[in-house]
Amino acid sequence: MPTRRRRLFLIPVFLVLPLLAIFLVFYLPPIAYTFIQSFYKFSPMKGIIKEWHLGNYGKFLTDSYYLGILWRTIWLSAVVALVCLVLGYPVAYYILHMAGRARGLLVLLILSPLLVTVVIRSLGWIILLAPTGPLNRAVMGLHITSKPLPILFQESGVIIGLAHIYFAFMVLSLISSLQRIDPSLPLAARNLGANTVQAFLRVTLPLSLPGVLAGSVLVFVLSVGSFVIPAMLGGGKVTVLTYLIYQQYIKFVNWPFGNAMAFILLVLASGIILLAGRWLERGKYSAVFQ
């Protein structure tokens, strides 16, 4: 029997092996190389010089221009996550209480933005949000404002574009979390004297926190790493970190500096996620996460 048990124990290992192999071969070496290169020097005349220094990191972390962009990237992504959460929660809640067929259709509708490539989708938003576009014509036609709303090529435009596409990720993650809540729990709360709002705030919402966390992290990470939408809907005026990295790589060919920025972004984004997770998991409703 021991050999048999040992073989059974190996099954999970075999199951993750293909993915592990892909990660080890195609993912880890480039990352490692990027990391190493972020410590190299660069000269516009001679290109990359294989000499170790911390200058790339120092340059980024001491320059208020770069730090400002880093800050903007982070808060922009956080706002996108928040917008998706606030708009997505009622939708997820509603979908969950719908009948089978209608539910499937609505989920499909929410996923539909993912069916269009990012460039086309962004062009669509540009047309829609342009100073002479349908939105502004409607707003001005109704005499709500006299001037076009400053949305396009502004942070708000970027937030709209990002929220539009990542909304689906938030809703799906909320649905899967809400689905796992025993339907008799809100009933029990009602039975014990809670009105619908109290039952939601005391029972349903805390129990859906894992979904809130997962959805927010997902949207945040995707937003931090997005490039095309901020570039197109920001019109070059809303510079985010990915755009800086792109510049360093393509325009200045300063790969070491670009790599350093990429790493700062990676570490910061992971750090924020870890902290947010810790904060929730150690909070009042820590039992939900066990």
State the amino acid at position 23 in one-letter form: F
Alpha-carbon distance of 283 to 44, in angstroms, equals 51
Task: Please report how close the Cβ of residue 285 comes to another protein at its closest, in angstroms.
Answer: 5
**191 scored as a contact of another protein (CB under 8 A):** yes
Site string for another protein, 143-182 (x = CB under 8 A): ---------------------------------------x
Terminal C-alpha separation, the chain = 33
Q: 5-15 burial, b for 16+ CB within 10 Å, e for fewer?
A: eeeeeeeeeee
Closest CA to 129 of 139, 143, 144, 118: 139
What's the closest the beta carbon of residue 286 comes to another protein, in angstroms? 8
Dihedral-angle region of residue 116 (phi above 0 means left; psi in -120 to 50 means alpha; beta otherwise): beta
Does 206 bind another protein (CB under 8 A)? Our answer is yes
Contacts (Cβ under 8 Å, ≥6 apart) of 125: 152, 157, 160, 161, 164, 233
Q: Which of 12, 25, 184, 251 binds another protein (CB under 8 A)?
A: 184
287 binds another protein (CB under 8 A): yes
189 touches another protein by CB under 8 A: yes
Counting contacts by CB under 8 A, is residue 193 touching another protein? yes
Q: Toward another protein, which CB reaches closer, 132 or 184?
A: 184
Q: Does 288 bind another protein (CB under 8 A)?
A: yes
CA distance 177 to 185: 14
Which one among 69, 107, 207, 219 touches another protein, defined by CB under 8 A? 207
Q: Which stretch binds another protein (CB under 8 A): 57-65, 169-177, 196-204, 260-268?
A: 196-204
Q: Quote the radius of gyration of the chain (alpha carbons, Å).
A: 24
Furthest CA-CA distance within the chain: 82
DSSP code, position 181? S
Among 194, 222, 228, 266, binds another protein (CB under 8 A): 194
Q: Which residue's CB is nearer to another protein, number 74 or number 213?
A: 213
According to the binding rule CB under 8 A, does residue 203 interact with another protein? yes
Contacts to another protein by CB under 8 A: 182, 184-185, 187-195, 198, 202-203, 206-207, 285, 287-288, 290
